[in-house]
């Protein structure tokens, strides 16, 4: 039995008449105005009264038309809405809308057509496959790491079903603590200790676990700021922050622009400026949000910079949120420094209650599907609230058990990290090299899963418009999905984020060839 699922056309109920209804109303209105002539105001009020009176009569006529014995389901475009929608254009177009309204937030979300999401959608509809769809779109817009997924797969095949005992649901079927079971917290604390350089101790009582880092950021936003407040965020930034911080918490993101001349490193002057400008506009800044290693650039915050940020937060009495989801995905020569390391070494002088860390397993362990995120905070009130809020975003119990088991396999974790780091380093090096051979330079990066590529020489005009046109060329000619800098709020047009961790070494030539196609086209047309 087949059935179409198109939204039922509302026009069948009343739309054909609604435009002529409009006319019927306007004509008497004109008549009254003309009849009265003279003073505009004297004629407007009676016109308005007459207008509403007509509609009232129309409404009464409609309900009288129905059978008096049953309660008729009125067509969704009936008039009870009138006081709330006085504009005539709504009346005439109502027939074509689904009648019942959604919230303002829902409209914002469904209207969201940023290149980030459009690209993901198009790529998923025509996905590249070496054998079955060699001309499909290669997805380089999603920071996933498949370079070492074979290792994870092997582990899963051996141990993922609970080993010889099989998967037991004893003890995990019932309600668990919403903020995560203790065993997983312990395992994560150990894991984070390893990942962040082996010098920081993470206390499980400072942890709240969430279904991925995405709700972790959202929950922190709910805890630290009110609707209409703002966080300062260096650009370019991860497009997902717009969703995580703005949608439901209603917190604004004020960009602090970083420039290629500084390799997109944050300047404290720019931060100060952005803060005072916000203050002048009457916006209450509640915190700074940074990612380290940074997404999309891939650079890391130096120890000095971290101290500067902490001092800044102290001085302004605001929060500092550091998203460290890529902490374990470093391949460069720089050493990653977690803000937790600084806090641990300087605990007497710094009030750590204003500093919060986001972490998760989607990047460093390639387990995005499992939804494992962490809020790490020293602020008891934040933790108490976050614990209550994570009931809306808890990790599935069998997954908690499985991940605990994996993280506790220290040898496996060690092997994974070493192998993964080597593979990332190799692919990154090859890819950046190959890009430069076709004239595309990348910003210096030492972590994350992407190259931040300078294509400004290929765009015309030198603007967001030119950038998006180039993005379209990549999508339709090269058939690769990469993320345009404007989606990351980059102030300089022409930069693109290209994820390199979904390519194997031997796929690099194919990708480079496709990119080269676009480079040629651009050179030819200029």
- Interatomic CA distance for residues 335 and 327, integer angstroms: 10
Can you tell me which of 183, 272, 351, 469 binds another protein, judged by CB under 8 A? 351
Q: Quote the least distance from Cβ 1 to another protein, whole Å.
A: 8
Contact 271, 302 (CB under 8 A): no
- Interatomic CA distance for residues 222 and 240, integer angstroms: 16
Q: Quote the least distance from Cβ 42 to another protein, whole Å.
A: 32
Is residue 170 within the footprint of another protein (CB under 8 A)? yes
- Interatomic CA distance for residues 358 and 377, integer angstroms: 9
- Residues touching another protein: how many (CB under 8 A)? 92
Site for another protein in 231-250 (CB under 8 A): 243-244, 247-248
Q: Which of 367, 356, 357 is nearest to 396 (CA)?
A: 367
Can you tell me which of 34, 174, 269, 526 binds another protein, judged by CB under 8 A? 174
Q: What is the DSSP string of 303-351?
A: HHHHHHHHHHHHHHT-EEEEE-TTTT-B-SSSPP--HHHHHHHTTTTS-
* Backbone torsions φ then ψ of 360, nearest 5 degrees: -175, 170
Computed from CA positions of residues 385, 387, 390, 392, in that sequence, does the dihedral angle turn out positive or negative?
negative
DSSP character at residue 201: P
Token pair listed for 401: 């058990």
| 296 cis-preceded (ω within 30 degrees of 0) | yes
Question: Which is closer to another protein, CB of 94 or CB of 514?
Answer: 94
With tokens 């039922």, the residue in question is 8
240: which residues sit within 8 A by CB, 6+ positions away? 116, 214
153: left (phi over 0), alpha (psi -120 to 50) or beta: alpha
Q: Quote the least distance from Cβ 420 to another protein, whole Å.
A: 14
Site for another protein in 142-161 (CB under 8 A): 142, 144, 146, 149, 152-153, 156-157, 160-161
Site for another protein in 82-121 (CB under 8 A): 98-106, 109-110, 112
Site for another protein in 427-466 (CB under 8 A): none
Question: Which is closer to another protein, CB of 304 or CB of 348?
Answer: 348
- Three-state DSSP at 325 gives coil
Site for another protein in 371-390 (CB under 8 A): 371, 379, 381-382, 385, 388-389
Question: Which is closer to another protein, CB of 102 or CB of 505?
Answer: 102
Q: Quote the least distance from Cβ 49 to another protein, whole Å.
A: 23
Is residue 214 within the footprint of another protein (CB under 8 A)? yes
Per-position x/- string for 27-66, each x denoting binding to another protein as judged by CB under 8 A, each - no binding: ----------------------------------------
Token pair listed for 142: 């999603």
Give the range of 50-58, 360-368, 439-447, 451-459 binding another protein by CB under 8 A.
Answer: 360-368
Can you tell me which of 14, 148, 176, 404 binds another protein, judged by CB under 8 A? 176
Alpha helices (runs of H) in 171-233, residue ranges in sequence order: 182-195, 213-224
Is residue 310 within the footprint of another protein (CB under 8 A)? no
CA 379 to chain centre: 25
Question: Which is closer to another protein, CB of 88 or CB of 284?
Answer: 284
Is residue 364 within the footprint of another protein (CB under 8 A)? no
Can you tell me which of 185, 286, 428, 473 binds another protein, judged by CB under 8 A? 286
**Angle formed by the axes of helices 464-473 and 508-525, to 10°?**
130
Can you tell me which of 11, 43, 399, 446 binds another protein, judged by CB under 8 A? 399
β-strand partners of 230: 252, 285
469: which residues sit within 8 A by CB, 6+ positions away? 459
- Three-state DSSP at 211 gives coil
Can you tell me which of 3, 67, 280, 411 binds another protein, judged by CB under 8 A? 3
Token pair listed for 184: 């997983």
Site for another protein in 245-284 (CB under 8 A): 247-248
Is residue 413 within the footprint of another protein (CB under 8 A)? no
Q: Quote the least distance from Cβ 24 to another protein, whole Å.
A: 23
Q: Quote the least distance from Cβ 266 to another protein, whole Å.
A: 21
Can you tell me which of 26, 27, 173, 268 binds another protein, judged by CB under 8 A? 173
Q: Quote the least distance from Cβ 363 to another protein, whole Å.
A: 11
Burial of 213 per CB tally in 10 Å (0-12, 13-18, 19+): buried
Is residue 7 within the footprint of another protein (CB under 8 A)? yes
Is residue 130 within the footprint of another protein (CB under 8 A)? no
């Amino acid at each position: 039995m087949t059935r179409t699922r198109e939204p039922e056309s509302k026009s069948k109920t009343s739309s054909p008449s609604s435009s002529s209804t409009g006319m019927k109303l306007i004509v008497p209105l004109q008549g009254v105005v003309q009849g009265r002539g003279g003073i505009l105001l004297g004629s407007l009020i009676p016109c308005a009264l007459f207008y509403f009176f007509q509609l009232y009569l129309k409404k009464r006529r409609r309900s009288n038309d129905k059978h008096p014995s049953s309660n008729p389901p009125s067509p969704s475009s009936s008039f009870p809405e009138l006081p709330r929608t006085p504009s005539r254009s709504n009346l005439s177009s109502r027939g074509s809308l689904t009648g019942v309204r959604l919230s303002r937030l829902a409209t914002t979300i469904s209207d969201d057509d940023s290149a980030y999401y459009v690209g993901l959608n198009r790529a998923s509809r025509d996905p590249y496959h070496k054998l079955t769809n060699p001309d499909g779109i290669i997805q380089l817009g999603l920071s996933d790491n498949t370079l070492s997924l074979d290792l994870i797969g092997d582990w899963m095949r051996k141990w993922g079903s609970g080993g010889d005992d099989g998967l037991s649901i004893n003890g995990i079927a019932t309600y668990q603590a919403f903020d995560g079971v203790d065993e997983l917290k312990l395992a994560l604390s150990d894991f984070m200790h390893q990942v962040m350089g082996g010098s920081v101790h993470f206390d499980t009582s400072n942890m709240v676990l969430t279904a991925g880092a995405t709700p972790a950021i959202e929950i922190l936003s709910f805890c630290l700021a009110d609707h209409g407040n703002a966080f300062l965020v260096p650009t370019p930034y991860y497009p997902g922050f717009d969703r995580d911080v703005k949608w439901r918490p209603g917190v604004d993101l004020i960009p602090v622009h970083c420039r290629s001349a500084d390799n997109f490193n944050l300047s404290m002057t720019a931060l100060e400026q952005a803060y005072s400008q916000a203050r002048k506009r009457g916006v209450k800044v509640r915190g700074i949000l940074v990612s380290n290693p940074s997404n999309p650039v891939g650079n890391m915050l130096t120890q000095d910079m971290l101290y500067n940020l902490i001092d800044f937060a102290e001085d302004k009495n605001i929060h500092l949120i550091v998203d460290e989801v890529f902490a374990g995905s470093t391949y460069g020569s720089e050493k990653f420094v977690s803000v937790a390391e600084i806090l641990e070494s300087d605990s007497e002088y710094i009030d750590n209650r204003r500093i919060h860390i986001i972490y998760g397993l989607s990047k460093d362990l390639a387990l995005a599907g499992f939804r494992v995120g962490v809020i790490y905070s020293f602020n008891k009130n934040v933790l108490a609230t976050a614990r209550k809020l994570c009931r809306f975003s808890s990790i599935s119990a069998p997954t908690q058990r499985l991940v605990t088991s994996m993280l506790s396999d220290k040898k496996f974790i060690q092997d994974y990290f070493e192998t993964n780091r080597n593979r990332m380093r190799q692919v990154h090096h090859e890819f950046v090299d190959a890009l430069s051979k076709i004239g595309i330079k990348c910003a210096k990066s030492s972590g994350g899963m992407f190259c931040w590529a300078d294509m400004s020489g290929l765009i015309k005009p030198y603007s967001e418009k030119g950038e998006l046109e180039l993005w379209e060329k990549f999508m339709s000619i090269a058939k690769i999905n990469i993320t345009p800098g404007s989606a990351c709020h980059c102030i300089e047009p022409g930069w693109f984020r290209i994820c390199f961790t979904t390519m194997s070494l031997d796929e690099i030539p194919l990708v480079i060839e496709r990119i080269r196609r676009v480079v040629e086209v651009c050179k030819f047309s200029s």
